[in-house]
């Protein structure tokens, strides 16, 4: 990794270095479609940056991107930071009110937006906003708001760039240092209050360089991108890291179904993917378990350790084929992975690692290293290269305490909120994560849950809801669950997989269907209670008729349901 106070810790350097080394290789494109080369990608970025500068965007200005993943997203981002401006990526699933709040607080002069998101700014009253650029060139809304098509803006930028070059009037950009802000990201956290995280160039590049040293993939390999670039997990690992390695980033478009994902992987044959647990858990429930349950022989074999490993290895090979046959690494993070699913992945010899981090750490604090056989199931592996992790005030018995992290990837603070920054960062640079965890003897970090989620029972015993939820979610008919405290007892709200319920109750009346679900809930409660401590036993299972509201990485926003 480059030394501190080095221009190589800027995102601009990464792009410059990549185009010099990999100029004619494919850099970025939509999956199953053409891709821009590194040289084309770079030239477009420089032209866009000059055009933004001519329009008055300067170093320190904030420019927003509200869009799904696309090559245009990446070009817009790098053009913004090239001139020393600050990119404000907005999560596409944020509601209109949140979008208005961000755009007003950031006072952006320019907004890059996709057609699917543009309705959110119809009612926006923002005096500083001078130009709206639609990344996908759809103009159905042009009669509502005045927009510029990205293709037209880029075309004008390229023409102006060529004219300036011919006249010898090349434009220079402001110097950008490693400690200059690159992004301000609004969290979509489980605890409710959305904070504006300030991330410098070094914050983002430090993690990306570390990831690049861990990955042995060759230049020209494909990273398939299925998560939003407006989240640091995908941005750092799925966008900047492949640029360092000279790889191609292929965007899947909107979150694909397993069938669409299989088709895209067959075409792109990715070497690396980053996913949230929900994706792997769906594939496990929809593709893996049915293979076993529909076969008496496989079900019998899986009762024994040797037989189960044999079956899982066969299914694991099919799973790699599902992802195109070339997969070398699946990074899983953003939320906790169900232990049952991870046990399957381990015994199937599927190439995965678990990562742990926060937006505030850009994002990784722990994960890997790849190939380390001492990583235990249920852990997030070792602290990431260049990152320190410690447990503060550990319980004498369990060793569980609050997780602190420190390194060049830790944020500069929260925008406009010195009090919240002081609560999250110690004077000597440690990030207070709010998560609880412990280290095992091999140095692996185990996440036990959020400190705010711990339920203190009447007898004073602490109950972590997440492990109970993992047990509930492992049932074939459960999509997701939430364990809550209710008058000193524990309830579990369960959102069933109604497709499965419909299959199992085909031809039955509504009353019979209701009785079937009630029996499932009663059996679930009995079986889960047999697996947990006395304090963690459930008093009730309550059916929930609609999905829980979740963050960008599919964690349930618990604060919305506390006290219901």
Q: Where are the domains of the chain?
A: 7-19+35-201, 379-452, 454-560
10 Å Cβ neighbour count for 423?
12
φ and ψ at 181, to 5 degrees? Answer: -65, 135
Candidates 3.20.20.70, 3.20.20.100, 3.30.300.30, 3.30.1360.120; CATH matching 454-560: 3.30.300.30
Q: Tens of pLDDT along 47-66?
A: 999 999 999 999 999 999 99
Q: Residue 467 above 60 pLDDT? A: yes
The strand pairing partners of 436, in sequence order, are 402, 449
pTM metric for this prediction: 0.87
**Correct CATH for 379-452 of 2.30.38.10, 3.40.1670.10, 3.40.50.10860, 2.40.50.1070:** 2.30.38.10
Q: Give the model's pLDDT for residue 456.
A: 75
- Per cent of the chain over pLDDT 90 is 70
Identify the residue with better confidence: 465 or 165: 465
Sheet bearing 388-392, strands edge to edge: 388-392, 401-406, 431-439, 445-450
pLDDT tens profile 508-542: 998 999 999 999 999 999 999 999 888 889 999 99
Per-residue pLDDT band for 139 (boundaries 50, 70, 90) equals: low
* Cα 36 from Cα 265, distance rounded (Å): 19
Residue 361, both tokens: 């750490």
Domains 7-19+35-201 and 454-560 share a fold: no
Distance CA 559, CA 555 (A): 11
What pLDDT is attached to residue 459? 67
Topology at the third CATH level for domain 7-19+35-201: Rossmann fold (3.40.50)
In tens, the pLDDT along 295-322 reads: 889 888 888 888 999 999 999 999 999 9
Mean pLDDT to the nearest integer, 345-359: 94
The pLDDT value given to residue 5: 57
Q: How many whole angstroms separate alpha carbon 265 and alpha carbon 275?
A: 14
Helix ranges (H only) for 481-539 are 498-504, 510-529
- Distance between start and end Cα atoms, the chain: 49
- In the predicted model, what is the mean pLDDT of residues 478-485? 92
Q: pLDDT tens-digit profile of 383-403?
A: 999 999 999 999 998 999 999
**What is the widest separation between alpha-carbon atoms in the chain?**
80
Task: Report whether 89 contacts 186 (CB < 8 A).
Answer: no
From CA 21, how far away is CA 381, in angstroms rounded?
32
Q: Are strands 364-367 and 352-357 parallel, antiparallel or unpaired?
A: antiparallel
Q: Rg of the chain over CA atoms, in angstroms?
A: 24
- By residue count, the chain amounts to 564
Q: What is the mean pLDDT of residues 186-194?
A: 64
Measured distance CA(105)–CA(94) in Å, rounded: 15
**Residue 477 has what DSSP assignment?**
T
Neighbour-count burial of 350, counting CB atoms closer than 10 A to its CB (0-12 exposed, 13-18 middle, 19+ buried) = buried
pLDDT at residue 73 greater than cutoff 70: yes
Query: Does residue 141 have a pLDDT over 80?
Result: no
Mean predicted confidence (pLDDT) in 15-43: 97
Residue 190 has pLDDT above 50, yes or no: no
Helix, strand, coil tally for the chain in percent (to 5): 40, 20, 40
pLDDT at 3: 47
């Amino acid at each position: 990794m480059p030394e501190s106070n080095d221009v190589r810790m800027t995102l601009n350097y990464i792009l410059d270095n990549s185009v010099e080394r990999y100029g004619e290789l494919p850099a970025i494109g939509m999956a199953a479609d053409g891709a821009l080369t590194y040289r084309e990608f770079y030239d477009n970025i420089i032209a866009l940056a000059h055009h933004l500068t001519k329009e008055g965007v300067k170093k320190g200005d904030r420019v927003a991107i509200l869009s799904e993943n696309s090559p245009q997203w990446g070009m817009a981002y790098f053009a913004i930071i090239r001139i020393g401006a600050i990119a404000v990526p907005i999560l596409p699933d944020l509601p209109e009110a949140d979008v208005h709040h961000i755009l007003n607080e950031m006072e952006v002069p320019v907004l890059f937006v996709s057609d699917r998101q543009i309705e959110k700014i119809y009612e926006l009253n923002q005096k500083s906003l001078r130009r709206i650029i639609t990344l996908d060139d759809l103009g159905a809304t042009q009669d509502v708001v005045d927009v510029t098509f990205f293709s037209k803006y880029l075309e004008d930028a390229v023409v102006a760039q060529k004219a300036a070059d011919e006249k010898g009037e090349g434009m220079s950009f402001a110097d950008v240092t490693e400690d200059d802000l690159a992004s301000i990201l609004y969290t979509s956290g489980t605890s409710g209050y959305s904070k504006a995280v300030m991330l410098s160039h070094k914050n983002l590049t430090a993690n990306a360089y570390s990831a690049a040293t861990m990955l042995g993939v060759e230049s020209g390999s494909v990273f398939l991108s299925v998560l939003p670039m407006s989240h640091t997990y995908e941005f750092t690992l799925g966008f900047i890291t492949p640029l360092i390695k000279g790889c191609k980033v292929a965007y899947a478009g909107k979150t694909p179904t397993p069938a669409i994902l299989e088709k895209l992987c067959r075409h792109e044959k990715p070497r690396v993917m980053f996913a949230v647990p929900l994706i792997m858990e769906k594939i496990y429930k929809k593709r893996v378990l049915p293979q076993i349950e529909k076969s008496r022989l496989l079900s019998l074999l899986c009762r024994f350790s040797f037989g189960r490993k044999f079956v899982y290895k066969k299914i694991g090979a099919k799973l790699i084929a599902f992802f195109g046959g070339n997969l070398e690494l699946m990074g899983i993070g953003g939320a906790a992975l169900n232990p049952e699913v991870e046990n399957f992945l381990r015994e199937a010899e599927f190439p995965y690692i678990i990562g742990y981090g926060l937006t505030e750490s850009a994002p990784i604090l722990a994960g890997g290293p790849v190939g380390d056989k001492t990583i235990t199931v249920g852990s997030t592996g070792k602290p990431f290269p260049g990152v320190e992790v410690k447990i503060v005030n550990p319980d004498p018995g369990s060793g569980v305490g609050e997780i602190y992290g420190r390194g060049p990837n830790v944020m500069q603070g929260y925008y406009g909120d010195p009090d919240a920054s002081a609560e999250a960062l110690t004077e000597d640079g440690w990030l207070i994560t709010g998560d609880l965890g412990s280290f095992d003897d091999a140095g692996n970090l185990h996440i036990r849950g959020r400190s705010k989620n711990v339920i203190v029972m009447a007898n004073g015993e602490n109950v972590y809801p997440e492990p109970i939820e993992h047990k509930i979610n492992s049932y074939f008919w459960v999509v997701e669950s939430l364990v809550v405290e209710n008058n000193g007892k524990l309830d579990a709200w369960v959102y069933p997989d109604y497709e499965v319920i419909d299959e199992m109750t085909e031809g039955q009346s509504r009353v019979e269907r209701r009785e079937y679900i009630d029996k499932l809930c009663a059996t679930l409660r009995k079986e889960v209670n047999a697996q947990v401590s006395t304090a963690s036993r459930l008093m009730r299972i309550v059916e929930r008729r609609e999905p829980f509201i979740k963050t960008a990485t599919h964690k349930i926003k618990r604060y919305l349901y506390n006290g219901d």
